[in-house]
Chains A and B, each alone.
Chain A
Amino acid sequence: MQPSLQPAAGDPPLLRLNGIAKRFLSVTALKDVSFELRRGEVHAVCGENGAGKSTLMKIISGQLEPDEGEIHFKGQPVRFVSTRDAEAAGIAMIHQELNLVPHLSVAENIFLAREPRRGLFIDRAQLRANARRCLSRLGIEIDPDTPVRTLPVAQCQMVEIAKALSIRAEALIMDEPTSSLTESETGQLFRVIQELKRSGVAIIYISHRLDELVQIVDRVTVLRDGRHVCTDDFAATSVDEIVVRMVGRALDEKFPPRTSVPTADVLMRVQGLTRRGVFRDVGFELRRGEILGFAGLMGAGRTEVARAVFGADLPDSGSIMLGDQTLRIRSPQDAIRHGVAYLSEDRKSHGLALGMSVAENVSLANMSALASGLGFIRFAQENEVAQRYVDALDIRTPSTRTLVRLLSGGNQQKVVIAKWLFRNSRVLFFDEPTRGIDVGAKFAIYTLLDELASQGIGVVLISSELPEILGMTDRVAVFHAGRITAVLDTRRTSQEEIMHHASGRVAATALAS
């Protein structure tokens, strides 16, 4: 798609950063980084986790002050001490974790702390009218009186964008805006982005889904290890080239070759699993050494089924068999005891104790293996175990006693995986294991999935990215509206066929067969 308004290269840039450097204690996050943003362009900033993208964005949006370097906005040197300063100047950031107040209405959220007033009181009519104007500028229809907590993520994001527009932001930073959107919602977001471009708003766009850049991006800047690598017109480069620049080496394949061979013996058999109002009559078989994909749209029930098997939420009916033993799973403890593990899609709030160390997180699910009969922890052994996994999974951390909070997203994910590997799990549910993780780390995790399967572990891969499903699984169970509508052989299926089943268009026929 051609950008609608090609910014002239000669214009003075809207935002210019020169020689920016930032250090945290002894770690250099950014070194001599320069960056330029023109009016009306969508500028992608790419880099692996830990490349310095977040730090750079925090500096632009006023959350951090640089140690060195200067920032010019609209030709003037500026110094932002807080996000308020940046917003007042016209720079707003939309975070991956949205910052909305759930119990307030859409209109109240958009104008939070800037409510139109009449005397001492909020002018509700004015508030509503202003909100409606902001929303309609984006071409979206949401009732301004709706409480935000009732909106789906995609609409919350629109509210965030409307909020940014309401402060007359001229530069907008979007951090992983599509990571939790469905395909059609992503389309809607892109239409809004085009709309913003037309009105001259400049957008800094951060995403690990490089494929989607093609649809909206004008220029791209690559960072690596805290340094600026290059800035190019997107038309003059390619996704492959960007990836090479990001990782500093050529990545021939996105997926490792599959070495594991699924066996015929059924490891886990789930039948008639139902949780009222969430999913019903779900059944599947998982074979030893197999990677089974769970595909489907957001909210189709994939995560919910996995959580039910794991005992995190209890199903109303259905049976779960492991080998020839019927399991009674009433809690995650029961599931774990039987060797079933679930790696949550939301690693920060469900997977890790961020304030605890790498070693403490690795051992958390299997403390008894590291403790004497009286419950005394054997620290030397715990460190040894943690170090083993740090080496095996190439977790980049200063030490096993470093707080997990300080690691990058990909490394945090590896810590979660290490926890379950140490538990000797027989069945592993991976829920979106590569979400928000950079290319290099993704490949490492794929390799790991394959290795696990070849050790005879049953792996379930829940993923919203169809290439990932096609590249890594042996069979795919496709979910639609709380049911499995098809189980397909990965080698004999296609993206189209999976989407077909996921959208429910052939639900009736699939169930009949």
Chain B
Amino acid sequence: MNDKQKDLFQKFAALASLAALTVVFALVSDAFFSVGNGMTVALQVTSIAYLGIGATCVIITGGIDLSVGAILALAGVVAAMSVKAGVPVPLAMLAGVLVGALCGAVNGLCVTLLKLPPFIATLGMMLVARGVALQITDARAIGGLGDSFAELGNGSLARVVKIGADGFPDVVFPGIPYPVLLMVLLGVAVAVLLNRTTLGRHLYAVGSNTEAARLSGVDVRGVTLFAYVLSGTLAGLTGCVLMSRLVTAQPSEGLMYELDAIAAAVIGGTSLSGGIGTISGTVIGAFVIGILRNGLNMSGVSAFIQQIIIGLVILLTVWIDQMRHRR
């Protein structure tokens, strides 16, 4: 098999397992295979996907970002507090995203300038961001954020509603939820960035061989910094979307999300040693996790068993991936 075929094979294998999962759950549970549940899954997957896209970029450079779950909480809380303080919703959300970008920049500077191992740098940020989020809210959820705050997380594009003969509204087409739309846009944009631009090429080069990249004139610091800022920004965005969906800002939201993000990337074929990874793989990985969770839920499997199964799936996929790369 040449590389192209291998690549196709991997994509196909991941997609096939996704399809297999869908079929199995559709047989087990009547409610699983419906438009409504499909939308629910897609919505649930969005958070993992946003974070996974950022995680993929960071992991491609040979790094890791453990702080996204905490950054997400901080960003959401900042956005909500801004709204409470009278800032218009779009600006408040922008502030949330910027907080995420700022945290990402701090991560990146710790890695590039202070030369801290990414694991440590982002572990520190994880604790700091979570601590700040809890401190500024007194560990209390912020509610009563209003309809316009909820729009981003709950609204959809092209929703068609007809008023029926009985005078009640009838949903003809549920529309495409904004978070799902955003996931598609982000996925395409970052995939194009990785595959078609010099910056993307440099991300892969840094992860493949940092020293060779540096001696070839690649701005290793700049490229690495970019990856962490992107990851932080996406975490900030995730926070805004998630809190908007819940119409509540929870400082304890997003716990362990960083691990879901990394798992999605890894299931999608991203190599933790750097230099390898695709956005399409990560999105598929996010769906694998999302469908597993949702399907197991609907089949009445307990949350504890779910964890066990997802853990085993991660081990299995990474093992298969390594078998494929071994020669």
- Interface residues, chain A, with chain B CB atoms under 8 Å away: 24-25, 310, 312, 332-333, 335-337, 342, 344, 349-356, 360, 363-365, 367-368, 371, 374-377, 401-403, 419
Q: In the complex where A376-B197, A403-B3 touch, is A353 in contact with B215 (Cβ < 8 A)? A: no
Q: Which of B92-100, B183-191, B199-207, B231-239 contacts A (4 or more CB under 8 A)?
A: B199-207
Q: Which of B114-122, B216-224, B257-265, B310-318 contacts A (4 or more CB under 8 A)?
A: B216-224
Residue of A nearest to B327 (CB): A24
On chain B, the residues within 8 Å of A419 by CB distance are 216
* Distance from A32 Cβ to chain B, minimum over Cβ atoms (Å): 23
Q: In this assembly, does B280 line the interface, its C-beta being within 8 Å of a C-beta of chain A?
A: no
On chain A, the residues within 8 Å of B209 by CB distance are 349, 352-355
Q: Which B235-262 residues have a C-beta within 8 angstroms of A?
A: none
**A352, B212: Cβ atoms under 8 Å?**
yes
Q: In the complex where A349-B211, A355-B208, A356-B204 touch, is A332 in contact with B198 (Cβ < 8 A)? A: no
* Distance from A476 Cβ to chain B, minimum over Cβ atoms (Å): 25
User: What are the 9 tightest A-B residue pairs by CB atom distance, in nearest-first order?
Assistant: A353-B208, A336-B217, A367-B198, A365-B216, A375-B197, A353-B209, A364-B216, A355-B208, A333-B217
**B214, A356: Cβ atoms under 8 Å?**
no
Within the assembled complex, what's the spacing in Å between the Cα atoms of A394 and B3? 23
Q: In this assembly, does B289 line the interface, its C-beta being within 8 Å of a C-beta of chain A?
A: no
**B276, A367: Cβ atoms under 8 Å?**
no
Q: In this assembly, does B196 line the interface, its C-beta being within 8 Å of a C-beta of chain A?
A: yes
* Distance from A31 Cβ to chain B, minimum over Cβ atoms (Å): 19
22 contacts between A and B (CB under 8 A): A310-B215, A312-B214, A337-B217, A342-B215, A351-B212, A352-B209, A353-B208, A353-B212, A355-B209, A355-B276, A356-B205, A356-B208, A360-B205, A363-B201, A364-B213, A365-B216, A367-B198, A375-B198, A376-B197, A377-B196, A401-B3, A402-B3
A364 interface neighbour in B196, B205, B219, Cβ under 8 Å: B205
Within the assembled complex, what's the spacing in Å between the Cα atoms of A353 and B276? 12
Within the assembled complex, what's the spacing in Å between the Cα atoms of A371 and B1? 30
**A25, B1: Cβ atoms under 8 Å?**
yes
Within the assembled complex, what's the spacing in Å between the Cα atoms of A333 and B202? 14
**A356, B327: Cβ atoms under 8 Å?**
no
On chain B, the residues within 8 Å of A353 by CB distance are 204-205, 208-209, 212-213, 275
Residue of B nearest to A363 (CB): B201
**A332, B197: Cβ atoms under 8 Å?**
no
Q: In the complex where A371-B198, A375-B198 touch, is A351 in contact with B215 (Cβ < 8 A)? A: yes
Residue of B nearest to A368 (CB): B198
* Distance from B322 Cβ to chain A, minimum over Cβ atoms (Å): 14
**Chief secondary structure at chain B's binding surface:** helix
Contact with A along B284-327 (1 / 0, CB 8 A): 00000000000000000000000000000000000000000001
Residue of A nearest to B204 (CB): A356
* Distance from A479 Cβ to chain B, minimum over Cβ atoms (Å): 21
B216 interface neighbour in A332, A368, A371, A376, Cβ under 8 Å: A332
* Distance from A348 Cβ to chain B, minimum over Cβ atoms (Å): 9
On chain B, the residues within 8 Å of A310 by CB distance are 215
On chain A, the residues within 8 Å of B205 by CB distance are 353, 356, 360, 364
**A332, B196: Cβ atoms under 8 Å?**
no
Q: In the complex where A356-B275, A360-B201 touch, is A332 in contact with B214 (Cβ < 8 A)? A: yes
On chain B, the residues within 8 Å of A351 by CB distance are 212, 215
Residue of B nearest to A310 (CB): B215
* Distance from B137 Cβ to chain A, minimum over Cβ atoms (Å): 40
Residue of A nearest to B209 (CB): A353
* Distance from B321 Cβ to chain A, minimum over Cβ atoms (Å): 14
**A350, B215: Cβ atoms under 8 Å?**
yes
- A332-B214, A355-B275, A367-B198 are known contacts; what are 6 more A-B pairs with Cβ within 8 Å? A312-B215, A353-B213, A364-B201, A364-B218, A367-B202, A368-B198
On chain B, the residues within 8 Å of A356 by CB distance are 204-205, 208, 275
Within the assembled complex, what's the spacing in Å between the Cα atoms of A332 and B215? 6
Within the assembled complex, what's the spacing in Å between the Cα atoms of A364 and B202? 8
On chain A, the residues within 8 Å of B214 by CB distance are 312, 332
On chain A, the residues within 8 Å of B213 by CB distance are 353, 364
On chain B, the residues within 8 Å of A403 by CB distance are 3
On chain B, the residues within 8 Å of A333 by CB distance are 217, 219
Within the assembled complex, what's the spacing in Å between the Cα atoms of A312 and B215? 7
A376 interface neighbour in B196, B208, B219, Cβ under 8 Å: B196
On chain A, the residues within 8 Å of B197 by CB distance are 371, 374-377
**B201, A365: Cβ atoms under 8 Å?**
no
Within the assembled complex, what's the spacing in Å between the Cα atoms of A336 and B212? 13
On chain B, the residues within 8 Å of A349 by CB distance are 209, 211-212
